Amino acid sequence: MNSYAEVVVLVEGPTEQQFIKQLLSPYLAQRGVYLTPIILDKPGEKGGDVKFARAKNDIEKHLKQRQDT
């Protein structure tokens, strides 16, 4: 069994992505929790007001790209 956890964090934009990378990731990495921020992206749209269907679609796409899920 692994002694660490990997958490994929879906974020709305670059501000949230930097928050995860610069503040939360270093803190949690010391405790064996590794965060990977992924921006929910849709061409022509900025962040905010993310509907569940859009998040679900992005989650499915991300998981299909990984070999270890």
Model pLDDT for residues 42-69, shown as the tens digit of each residue? 666 665 667 788 788 888 888 888 787 6
Answer yes or no: is pLDDT of 21 > 90: yes
Domain positions in the chain: 5-65
Q: How many CB atoms lie within 10 A of CB 55?
A: 13
| CA–CA gap between residue 9 and residue 63 (Å, rounded) | 12
Say what percent of the chain tops pLDDT 90.
38
- Compute the distance between CA of residue 47 and CA of residue 30 in angstroms, rounded to an integer: 30
Distance of CA 27 to the CA centre of its chain: 16
Q: Distance of alpha carbon 32 from its chain centroid, rounded? A: 17
